[in-house]
Amino acid sequence: MMVWWIIAGGFLVTAVTGIPIGLGLALTGMAILHFVVGGATDLAVNAVWNVFTDFTLSAVPLFIFMGEIMLVSGVSGRLYTALSPAFMRIPGKLLHTNIAVSALFGAVSGASTSTAAAIGSVAYPELEKRGYKPSVVVGTLAAGGTLGLLIPPSLSLLIYGATQQVSIGQLFLAGLLPGLMLAVMMMLFIGFIGSRGESVVPDEGETVGLGRALRMLLPIWPIGFLIFAVLGTIYLGLATPTEAAGLGVAASIVLGFLWGELTPLRLWRAFVDSVQVFVSIGVVMLGALILAQAISILGLPLQVLSWIESMNLSPIMVLVMVSIFYLVLGCFFDGISLMLMTLPIVFPVMTGVGFDPVWLGVIITILIEIGMLTPPVGMNLYVLTGITGNRVTLLQAAYASLPFWILLLLGVVILTVFPSIALFLPRSLY
């Protein structure tokens, strides 16, 4: 019982005092190892060393660097300009572009806030100028940004696979169809509100013929080269995720200089920003590893699993409880931090009741995506309200994002009823 009080107290102190999450997790784990396990704090050092020297984990900073290069090189603007004409004839018009470009940018970014920032900085000023309702624009951009965390190469799935020893190649394949499914669901909703005649989409007279719209897509072919360099090499078995991340960095630099607006100064800024992002993630990961080591030594996941079995809860009820757990904590912690701090217990419990670990990675990613749209710590909302210069308040952005919040939750339900949507590609190709 003492260990549960230490964990609860550690989480509470971390949330209330505002100390760095990684430090709070590390201190909690060290307290358990010292006071409960009997001073076995050296085990924490071994756990951290084993994971941080793993070759697979080096893909994380590389993918972050690649996303930052794409962010500073202005590629998002080219994508937006090329894809916009394709949606001018359907209800919702350019709001669809926010989702489509976010999905495509997510295939080379891997992060939610980077995607929201890159597309939002291009799309919001343009759509506001054209007369689109600002809050609705922000809502679609925030929702589109969540796709960056699911569509491979996903930072969330990469860290999940590296820390839980699950095949990253299978995880990337598993995230592809659910990511596309959620993108289509979002676009269907945009078409619905656009067709109802609400004052969210201006009555623009300009339209572009199908032939011209297709011709405008041709200049973005280099993005296909970059996607192949990263995902194609993994799926074809030509490279490991880490090697593919290195190829992605090299390809994004070449693409940025030859096709984008990359300069040596911007490349250095991307490097510095990526180091800062990885350090913040790495500190959380370090703390989570120490806590995970303490928890595993005491066998707490087995205790939780035994408790669940004694209550005769079905696997679906366990999933419901875990989902509620993530939805509540998503109000207070950012996605990657939330995932890392909960996986030591959630992963063994969920796989213990029979859930596939690859499918589980997709579900947890979607659940932490929901947190990106949930105040008071909805990171995508903060990024986009900042881009608007606070002309759209956090409350307005959250309200406009609510339908997409529901769609993401509906996506979890659909994947629970039809798990083959996520597992079809991994089982077919591995």
CA 168 to chain centre: 15
Domain ranges of the chain: 39-429
| Structure-block tokens of residue 108 | 């080379």
In the prediction, which pLDDT does 360 show? 96
Per-residue pLDDT of 24-54, as tens digits, reads 878 888 888 877 777 777 777 777 777 777 7
* Rounded CA separation 66/127 (Å): 27
Residue 361: pLDDT band (50, 70, 90) is very high
Cβ-in-10-Å burial (0-12, 13-18, 19+) of 126 comes to middle
* Inter-residue contact 386 to 117 (CB < 8 Å): no
Is pLDDT of 382 > 90?
Answer: no
* Rounded CA separation 234/426 (Å): 12
Residue with tokens 């598993």: 174
| Structure-block tokens of residue 287 | 């703390």
In the prediction, which pLDDT does 267 show? 92
| Structure-block tokens of residue 348 | 């063994």
Question: SS3 of 118, please?
Answer: helix
Mean pLDDT of 243-266: 88
In the prediction, which pLDDT does 422 show? 95
Q: What is the pTM of this model?
A: 0.83
Comparing 5-9, 96-100, 386-390, the range with the smallest average pLDDT is: 5-9
Report which of 22, 58, 284, 271 is spatially closest to residue 158, judged by C-alpha positions.
58
Is pLDDT of 184 > 90?
Answer: yes
In the prediction, which pLDDT does 58 show? 82
Residue 134: pLDDT band (50, 70, 90) is confident
In the prediction, which pLDDT does 227 show? 82
Mean pLDDT of 317-334: 84
**Looking at beta carbons, which pairs linking 300-308 to residues 24 or more positions away fall under 8 Å?**
300/3, 300/345, 301/344, 301/345, 301/347, 301/348, 301/349, 301/352, 302/348, 302/352, 304/345, 304/349, 305/348, 305/349, 305/352, 305/353, 308/349, 308/353
* Inter-residue contact 365 to 100 (CB < 8 Å): no
Mean pLDDT of 119-143: 84
In the prediction, which pLDDT does 212 show? 63
In the prediction, which pLDDT does 403 show? 92
Q: Which of 145 and 13 is assigned the larger pLDDT? A: 145
DSSP code at position 55: G
* Rounded CA separation 143/404 (Å): 6
Query: In the predicted model, what is the mean pLDDT of the chain?
Result: 82
Evaluate the CA torsion angle 237, 238, 241, 244 in order and state its sign. negative
* Rounded CA separation 412/406 (Å): 10
Comparing 10-19, 135-144, 236-245, the range with the smallest average pLDDT is: 10-19
Residue 205: pLDDT band (50, 70, 90) is low
Residue 122: pLDDT band (50, 70, 90) is confident
In the prediction, which pLDDT does 203 show? 64
Max avg pLDDT among 3-7, 9-13, 178-182, 225-229? 178-182
Helices first, then strands: H and E counts in the chain = 22, 0
Q: Which of 170 and 213 is assigned the larger pLDDT? A: 170
* Rounded CA separation 71/67 (Å): 6
Mean pLDDT of 414-423: 95
In the prediction, which pLDDT does 406 show? 94
* Inter-residue contact 97 to 143 (CB < 8 Å): no
In the prediction, which pLDDT does 199 show? 58
Is pLDDT of 185 > 90?
Answer: yes
Instruction: Give the chain's end-to-end CA distance (angstroms, integer).
Output: 43
Count of CB atoms situated within 10 Å of the CB of 140: 34
* Rounded CA separation 154/368 (Å): 13
* Rounded CA separation 51/163 (Å): 7
Mean pLDDT of 55-61: 80
